[in-house]
Structure 1
Amino acid sequence: MTKELLREETKNAKELFHGDKVLRAGKKEVKEVIDFSTNTNPYGPPPELLRKIGENLEKISTYPPHQPRNIRKKIAEHCDSTPEKIVLGNGCNELIYLIARSFLSKEDETVTVEPTYTEYSKAAKLQGSTPKAIRLREEESFELEMEDLKGISEETKLVFLCSPNNPTGNLHKEKVLEGAAEICEEKKSLLVLDESFIEFTGREREYGPIHGGSENVIVLRSLTKFYSIPGLRVGYAVAPKPIAQSLRKAQPQWNVNGLSLLAAGEAVKSSKYRGKTRAKIRKNGTFLSESLSRLGVNTYPWDANFLLSDFSSLNTDAQNIAKKLLEKGIGVRMCDDFKFLDKNYIRMSFRPKKECEKLIESLKEIL
């Protein structure tokens, strides 16, 4: 009886798992795992951020301010925007669901560019929206082209686009992103551009339509990934002022805790940390991708802190490879739960050089 009171969308919701199912299944048997399945910065948070939190632990006994302007101002300066356009979120996931609740009604059409982050479709389905996929083609290295944007129509209410894309790791071309914004404006749709991994590219102040003044674009940014604070959960949206104001009002009070707010304000000031860790991650990524290619594994162009690899040319089961790697204490991310990908695909993040070397040596032994 009680279950019958639930909305159909809630009853039919599917729980999503972020991480590797092979790693999850076998972690009990392996005590220590080098985790290449998680795509956060492997070098840990900025020291100044940790120090700031340590000095303010007593703040957990007081309510945090809601959407504090001083934190929004620091973030706005970091991304060349204004505080009025910033909406703080308990990670980007909260903002994805907030946007879906705020814009979508039953049977509205939502467009996703696949394969991509799976929460977009789930958020849309929970509102009764009908997701429609634009397929990125493997033969085009999963690049979005202007021709693909024909999938956006007068029926489209929201378009979710991730750049750098997860799980493919590539930035979409700026002219195509601008084209997407223009088409959405023409079709009276809203473009939600998820740039959760943009900090890894070094182009967070220049790339995409974030600075173009578009009235139909919301940009999402994560502080979790680059600054290695997934346990604190904090991200932000940059939206047109009227939309940002409405979204802040629609949020529950105290949606971001006090320590997360402190971390957000400190993270965006960490310019030395950004330059230092970004250089190391890119160097390790180059080593990993070149080493995989020498083993005969196909890898795709990447701009973030991870790459997508295709093991099909080796005539072997990638899931079996993932299991054997786990036996050696290494976890990777199978990608068959992403739309249009199968069991040949594995995503690997860029960890410190010695750990990347261990991964390659382990693969050599397995292959």
Structure 2
Amino acid sequence: MEARGARLDLAVNVAVAQPPAFVAEAIVREVPRLAAYPDPTAATETLAAELGVPAGCVLLTNGSAEAFTLVARLRPWREPLVVEPQFTEPAEALRHAGTPATAHLLDPATGWAVDGASVPAAADLVVVGNPTNPTSRLHPREQILRLVDTATTPDDRVLLVDEAFLDVSTDPAQTVVPDAACRTAGDRTILVTGSLTKTFGLAGLRAGYVVGPEREIDRLRRLQPHWSVNALALAAVLTVCTPRGRDFRDEQRARLRANASHLAATLRACGLHVPVDPDGPFVLAQHPRAASLREGLRATGIAVRRADTFWGLDDTWLRFAARDSGPVDELAAGIRQIEEEIR
């Protein structure tokens, strides 16, 4: 991990350094009941109500990583495709399932905009992030839905949309969760993955979900190991789906939006190329000597994310988490000092 041992972490996209007190307290209250096997029913129903979909359309998972693994095993995919650059886990899950995905590389000249017409019609599984990690590009809902247009896509097309960061994006209304849950005969299948770990500081607990048509959720559930989501994670799900949870999420969204704008402006002022105004809580930036810049920052205790592990990006790209102004100002000072040293 890029951030291990770092004094200042701008590599990991978790919004807060620790869970808010009301979530931590709910988790602690569950500890005396850990002798009982976890029952996800109440948490599933509560999350479904929060999302505005039927409970049968929701499957809680051990983080989004398990969701990607379940989808990869859902059927013997013929031609899976991942829209890139993209979070690496979906492609890894497909590779481990024995059905490696084709990479469909978006054009950086368009700001990595999704163009449904350019996606090969033969793809029976299409994976896209919204907003996309690492580009921080939010695709309009209508563009996402073109990927399942009945006039131009095969009958068995499944669209998997990773909305892990949508709740703190510039426009959460671009979600396709309602579309995923309300498919009718003849419609293509949409599955949406989401995460509660990023916004509420629960990456170590693992709490994610999949939304989709009931028949597909039933199939995913049959593939899932028993008791996959532990009792502490279920307590967290119940707690974030409350007025306090919604207020906290709204506060984080406002904070992260301001942070991302400030970070993008700061990086541009430091001479880095930021091609897309960030829609998510992170910024992708380019520097001709990004690798040296990252190493120099790491030597001072500042961690940033290398981006050459994402398909279509090389070692001139870095991703920065949208931290508060103090850490970002310290980052800027570090960048300027290192640029002086490597000239």
TM-score (normalizing by structure 2): 0.91
* Equivalence for 2:281: 305
* Equivalence for 1:9: none
* Equivalence for 2:110: 140
Q: Which of 205, 219, 222 pairs up with 2:192?
A: 219
Shift of the alpha carbon at 1:128? 2.3
Whole-Å Cα distance in 2 between the matches of residues 253 and 310 of structure 1? 44
* Equivalence for 1:103: 75
Counterpart amino acid of residue 174 in structure 2: Y
1:23-62 alignment runs, 5 A limit? 27=5, 32-42=6-16, 44-62=18-36
Shift of the alpha carbon at 1:187? 4.1
Number of corresponding residues: 329
* Equivalence for 1:345: 317
Q: Which moved more, 1:272-281 or 1:39-48?
A: 39-48
Shift of the alpha carbon at 1:295? 1.7
Counterpart amino acid of residue 95 in structure 1: A
Whole-Å Cα distance in 2 between the matches of residues 263 and 296 of structure 1? 42
Shift of the alpha carbon at 1:331? 0.2
Contact 1:44 1:228 in 2 (8 A): yes
* Equivalence for 1:158: 125
* Equivalence for 1:116: 86
Which segments of 5 or more consecutive residues in structure 2 lack a partner in the other structure?
Answer: none
Change (3 A) 1:202 1:51: farther
Q: Which of 242, 252, 255 pairs up with 1:277?
A: 252
Whole-Å Cα distance in 2 between the matches of residues 237 and 273 of structure 1? 22
Whole-Å Cα distance in 1 between the matches of residues 200 and 232 of structure 2? 14
1:286 partner SS? helix
Query: Does 1:248 find its partner at 2:227?
Result: no
Which segments of 5 or more consecutive residues in structure 1 lack a partner in the other structure?
Answer: 1-18
Contact 1:178 1:208 in 2 (8 A): no
* Equivalence for 1:262: 235
Whole-Å Cα distance in 1 between the matches of residues 312 and 294 of structure 2? 20
2:149 partner SS? helix
Counterpart amino acid of residue 101 in structure 1: R
* Equivalence for 2:161: 193
Contact 1:46 1:267 in 2 (8 A): no
Shift of the alpha carbon at 1:104? 2.4
Counterpart amino acid of residue 118 in structure 1: T
Shift of the alpha carbon at 1:185? 5.5
1:61 partner SS? coil
Shift of the alpha carbon at 1:44? 3.2
Shift of the alpha carbon at 1:47? 2.1
Shift of the alpha carbon at 1:298? 0.9
* Equivalence for 1:234: 207
Whole-Å Cα distance in 2 between the matches of residues 287 and 355 of structure 1? 11
Change (3 A) 1:104 1:174: same
Contact 1:42 1:352 in 2 (8 A): no
Counterpart amino acid of residue 288 in structure 1: L
Counterpart amino acid of residue 169 in structure 1: S
1:225 partner SS? helix
Counterpart amino acid of residue 64 in structure 1: P
Shift of the alpha carbon at 1:338? 1.0
1:173-188 alignment runs, 5 A limit? 173-182=140-149, 186-188=154-156
Shift of the alpha carbon at 1:203? 4.2
* Equivalence for 1:320: 292
Whole-Å Cα distance in 1 between the matches of residues 224 and 168 of structure 2? 29
1:143 partner SS? coil
Shift of the alpha carbon at 1:347? 0.2
- Identity of aligned pairs, percent? 26
Please give the per-residue CA displacement for 1:289-321, whole angstroms capped at 9, x wherever unaligned: 101111221112211110100113xxxx21111
Contact 1:33 1:326 in 2 (8 A): no
* Equivalence for 2:38: 64
Whole-Å Cα distance in 2 between the matches of residues 286 and 203 of structure 1? 14
Please give the per-residue CA displacement for 1:166-195, whole angstroms capped at 9, x wherever unaligned: 111111122210101225854421111110
Whole-Å Cα distance in 2 between the matches of residues 171 and 44 of structure 1? 27
CA RMSD, 1 decimal: 1.7
Query: Does 1:167 find its partner at 2:167?
Result: no
2:80 partner SS? strand
Whole-Å Cα distance in 1 between the matches of residues 105 and 49 of structure 2? 36
Shift of the alpha carbon at 1:126? 2.2
Counterpart amino acid of residue 53 in structure 1: I
* Equivalence for 1:296: 271
